[in-house]
Amino acid sequence: MTRVLPLLALLLALAVNALAEPVASPIPIGVAVATTSNVALFGEEQVNGAKIAEAVLNAKGGVNGTPFKILYQDTAGDEAGAINAFQSLITAKVVGIVGPTLTQQAFAADPIADRAKVPVIGPSNTAKGIAQIGPYVGRVSAPMTDVAPNSLKYVLSVDPKIKKVAVMFAQNDAFCTSETGIFQEAIKNLGLETVTIQKFQTTDTDFTTQVTAVLGAGADMVVISGLAADGGNLVKQLRQLGYQGPIVGGNGFNSTNMLPVCGPLCEGILVAQAYSAQADNAVNKLFVEKYQEAYKKMPPQFAAQAYAAVQVVVEALAKVEKDSGKKITAMELAEVRELLNKNLQNATFLTPMGEIALDADGEVHQKTFFVSQIKMNPDGKTGAYVIVNK
């Protein structure tokens, strides 16, 4: 160990002088999402979306004629995994990184990229504070503060008599606890009364206590932040025990995995969405067509946002070329990373989610949000999310 420490110090000193290096061709773009662990379901959808983006955008000529290539790295579901994946991509000389899957992973890994001056675009990090991690961090996933309240507003527009609201959320899930905070604030801002707040765990299967409390409080509307399995079971028990009013779900309900869980009782749940496969714009139509061709199903939100993240990076690279008059592959890597980051900010993009704009902070501003209602098919296991706010 006594010989190792001076050696380490020497290595540290060496690591500081980064040499000027050119950008490889095809232009490498990193995608670091979870393809193993318990969040792999989301990560796989993101990889699918990124693959479609690679095929579609390269077919259109890539970055002004230069093709790009996506390097995938698995972050797994934990913080250390995300840091390792980012580190691998940075040393693989990518111009920018799309990822990671979870907000908590972003808090761990994004500062690493920020310090290395590599632009990061979060495809699915929706909590507060992501874009504020540093100047090189941005996202295409609209924060929950923008998305979640839309469904409440829709319910009120249909039924203005609603006054009493019950809030339920999965206490052990980071996403659900932040989301419920936003719902609760929105409920207050809309002048409604929160009659009860019930907590549950994502691992729970029996919700009798919580449902009884909601029924006892006489709520006119129930707002739930949960994930597919627990949320599905909770809805089922709410309906079985006699709750008749509207149910508003958070983003966790935005997954067809929930439908088999509550079956026919899923009917009528309202969900606010940042993306809908039915969105009416040319970019989305092409994306849906290619996605269905490749995977034989409608693209979920995670895939659309990953597509958008890759698209945003590619379009910003094209703008770097246009502004500087030089080919990306003729420029130095550090310079490209810096210019790419500049062009990612204060820019507008037409993506499958419609028009989005990234501000000087890297924070996304999305023009349209969707409120969808679940319509179950007669088989009681499958269904569709139908846009209701258009």
Partner 1 sequence: MEEFVARYGFLFVAVVQQALLGLSLYFPLMAGQLSLASIGFYALGGYVAAVMGTHPALAPLRDALGFMIYPVQWLAALALSVALGVALGYPALRLRGIYLALATIAFVQVVGVAALNMPVTGGAVGIFGIPQPFESRLAYIWFFGPLLLLTLALIHRLERSGAGRLFFSIREDELAARAMGVDVTFRKVQAFVTGCALAGVTGAMSAPFLNTWNVRQGTFDAAVACLAYVLIGGSRSKWGALLGAALLVSLPEILRPLKDSRMILNGVVLVLACVYMPRGIAGLLSGRDK
Half-sphere exposure of 277 (CA within 13 A, CB side): 19
Tokens 């500062």 sit on residue: 111
What does the per-residue mask of binding to partner 1 show for 340-359, with x meaning CB under 8 A? --------------------
Q: Could you say whether residue 282 binds partner 1 (CB under 8 A)?
A: no
CA distances for 36 relative to 48, 77, 236, angstroms = 14, 7, 30
Which residue among 59, 61, 129, 285 contacts partner 1 (CB under 8 A)?
Answer: 129
**CB of 133 or CB of 277, closer to partner 1:** 133
Which residue among 46, 103, 237, 276 contacts partner 1 (CB under 8 A)?
Answer: 103
Which residue among 64, 69, 78, 368 contacts partner 1 (CB under 8 A)?
Answer: 78
Tokens of 2: 């006594």
Which residue among 70, 120, 121, 133 contacts partner 1 (CB under 8 A)?
Answer: 133
Q: From 108-116, 142-150, 155-163, 251-259, give the range in contact with partner 1 by CB under 8 A.
A: 108-116
Q: Which of 233, 237, 169 is nearest to 205 (CA)?
A: 233
Which residue among 42, 107, 154, 307 contacts partner 1 (CB under 8 A)?
Answer: 107
**CB of 87 or CB of 281, closer to partner 1:** 87
Q: Could you say whether residue 184 binds partner 1 (CB under 8 A)?
A: no
Q: How far is CA 82 from the centre of its chain?
A: 16
Q: Which of 51, 111, 122 is nearest to 87 (CA)?
A: 111
Cβ(67)–Cβ(23) below 8 Å? no
How many degrees, rounded to 5, is the angle at CA 194 between CA 190 and CA 200?
125
Tokens of 96: 């920018």
SS3 content of the chain, % helix, strand, coil (to 5): 45, 20, 35
The 10 Å Cβ neighbour count of residue 320 is: 24
Which residue among 112, 197, 286, 384 contacts partner 1 (CB under 8 A)?
Answer: 112
Q: Could you say whether residue 87 binds partner 1 (CB under 8 A)?
A: yes
Q: Could you say whether residue 200 binds partner 1 (CB under 8 A)?
A: no
Q: Could you say whether residue 335 binds partner 1 (CB under 8 A)?
A: no
Q: From 59-67, 106-114, 151-159, 321-329, give the range in contact with partner 1 by CB under 8 A.
A: 106-114
Cβ(198)–Cβ(225) below 8 Å? no
Alpha helices in 92-173 (DSSP H): 103-115, 144-147, 149-158
Q: How far is CA 9 from the centre of its chain?
A: 40
The values of phi and psi at residue 77, to 5°, are -100, 5
What does the per-residue mask of binding to partner 1 show for 151-180, with x meaning CB under 8 A? --------------------xxxx-xxx--
Judged by CB under 8 A, the chain residues 22 through 61 that form the site for partner 1 are: 35-36
**CB of 5 or CB of 20, closer to partner 1:** 5
Q: From 76-84, 265-273, 334-342, 371-379, give the range in contact with partner 1 by CB under 8 A.
A: 76-84
Q: Tell me the closest approach of the beta carbon of residue 76 to partner 1, in angstroms.
A: 8
Q: Could you say whether residue 11 binds partner 1 (CB under 8 A)?
A: yes
The maximal CA–CA distance of the chain, rounded, in angstroms, is 76
Our separate counts of H helices and E strands in the chain read: 13, 15
Interaction site with partner 1 (CB under 8 A): 1, 5, 8, 11-12, 14-15, 18-19, 35-36, 72-74, 76, 78-80, 83-84, 87-88, 90-91, 103-104, 107-109, 111-112, 115, 127, 129, 133, 171-174, 176-178
